Amino acid sequence: MKERTKEFALRIVRLYSALPKSPVAQTLGKQVLRSGTSVGAHYREAVRSRSDAEYVSKIEGALQELEETGYWLELLADAGVCQPGAVAALRTEADELTAILVTCAKKAKKRMRSEE
């Protein structure tokens, strides 16, 4: 997952670099750049967490960033800044990462409940 979230961030960086220099493209692009590159940082923080509660918190932070990234990607396509096909693979990857991280959070929460 470390490599997968890093590759996701690099793909976001490449998308941002390829955007037009218009104010709308740059504004939306900076938003997707910020949220899309922070997913991996949250995941790495989760891996180094000291407790299940901290782990869940960091994973849920990554999930929030993925949700936000999906929103900005959607806006880039719907506003006509990017062709829908240009962001489709990134949106699919965001959905897949979301599914994986939701599973991670659920497992950690289940461990927490069983330790009570």
- CA pair distance 42, 24, nearest whole angstrom: 27
pLDDT tens digits, 8-50: 999 999 999 999 999 999 999 999 999 999 999 999 999 999 9
Confidence at residue 76, expressed as pLDDT on a 0 to 100 scale: 97
Residues 38-70 as b/e (b if ≥16 CB within 10 A, e otherwise) read bbbbbbebbeeeeebeebbbbbebbbebbebbb
Confidence at residue 29, expressed as pLDDT on a 0 to 100 scale: 97
Domains of the chain: total: 1
106 within some domain: yes
Residue 39: HSE in the Cβ half-sphere, 13 Å Cα cutoff: 34
Parent domain of 100: 2-110
Amino acid at 25: A
CATH code assigned at 38 = 1.20.1440.60
Q: Which of 68, 73, 115, 77 is nearest to 92 (CA)?
A: 73
- CA pair distance 34, 42, nearest whole angstrom: 12
116 within some domain: no
Asked if pLDDT for residue 89 goes beyond 80, the answer is yes
115 within some domain: no
CB 32 within 8 A of CB 16: yes
Asked if pLDDT for residue 107 goes beyond 90, the answer is yes
